[in-house]
Amino acid sequence: MRRRAPIAIAAMCSSSNVEGSAGFVPSQTRRGLDNARRHLAATALRTSAGQSDDADLLSNWLAQSSSPAQYSEWYTETDSNLPFDCTGCGNCCKTKGDVLLSPDETRSAASLLDLSVDEFKKRYVAEEEVTVLMSLDPERIPPGETGWTVLRQKEEDGSCVFLGEDNMCGVYEARPLQCSTYPFWPRIMASRESWDGEVRSKGDGKERGGKVEEDKYWSIEKGGCEGMNRIPTNLAGAVDSSKGDGVSPTEAAERLATYKRYKVRYPTAELQPVSGRLEAIDTAE
């Protein structure tokens, strides 16, 4: 009997499983992993045809890649909340990296702005996943048909196209899960140390004079969050949860699980530039 190749292989070896600064997916990294994905997919095909001895290794790798056991769940060791409260600084929307929207998220954002999906993509999307229906007849794409999309960035500073001058999101009610689950992403929640590594002091440090300590303040390249605080050795009592401060371990775990499920659905094929590009509309108006 021929063994069937794991159908999840393409998703699990997607470049989206590699997080860049602040968890965003660097476009050059995403594209650079195409060859690795093809090699792994080829291994899966050889396995299904009985031409490879890598079946057990492949299955073990997939299991380990998706297993929650790789996270220590240190944040469940106490009932204290995790020290995070959004300050509205907007820095997470300015960090270098791609922001992806699922097909449903793309349609929701377009609907919120009272735009057709096609017009939304022409105004706000840099690259898109071309679905089967879109590739059959590019001149007659069904209304609302879309794959995953990557938002444009402002030319002047590289920030998200929807970030307003007031640091508010122009599509907040329809923002993607990539945004709403931050900072509860796998690489940040992996350990206390990785959480602490995402913490940044407020401001840019320049007003203090002298040399700015590396990684202490937010930067476009390295990201980070000023709304987070370091985890003390004794996590108990770190945050006064009775005042509603911070995020409960239960909510943190739910956001982490949501992001992990969301991320394995990221597109595996190389995305294509959106054609017929238009000027973006100021969503703050």
Q: What is the pLDDT of residue 2?
A: 34
Is the domain of 53 the same as that of 109? Answer: no
- Our count of domains for the chain comes to 3
Which DSSP string do the residues of 23-87 spell out, in sequence order?
Answer: G-B-HHHHHHTHHHHHHHHHHHHHHHTT--S-HHHHHHHHHHHH-GGGS--GGGSSSSPBSB---
Give CA–CA dist 24/11, Å, rounded.
Answer: 17
For residue 4, is it within any domain? no
What are the helix (H) ranges across 140-248? 177-180, 186-189, 192-198
Q: What is the pLDDT of residue 256?
A: 95
For residue 3, is it within any domain? no
Is the domain of 130 the same as that of 116? Answer: yes
For 131-135, 148-152, 170-174, 175-179, which range has the lowest pLDDT when averaged over its residues? Answer: 131-135
Q: What is the pLDDT of residue 252?
A: 94
For residue 83, is it within any domain? yes
Nearest CA-CA partner of 218 in 149, 167, 266 = 167
More confident: 258 or 19: 258
Give CA–CA dist 270/170, Å, rounded.
Answer: 27
For residue 280, is it within any domain? no
Is the domain of 34 the same as that of 105? Answer: no
**Residue 81 main-chain phi, psi, to 5 deg:** -75, 155
**Tokens encoding 82:** 């995790």
Q: Is the pLDDT of residue 134 over 90?
A: no
Give CA–CA dist 99/151, Å, rounded.
Answer: 6
Is the domain of 237 the same as that of 164? Answer: no
Is the domain of 243 the same as that of 184? Answer: yes
Is the domain of 244 the same as that of 191? Answer: yes
Q: What is the pLDDT of residue 38?
A: 46
For residue 66, is it within any domain? yes
Domain holding 167, by residue range, is: 98-171+266-273
Summarize the confidence of residues 43-72 as an average pLDDT.
48
Is the domain of 252 the same as that of 231? Answer: yes
For residue 163, is it within any domain? yes
Is the domain of 159 the same as that of 109? Answer: yes
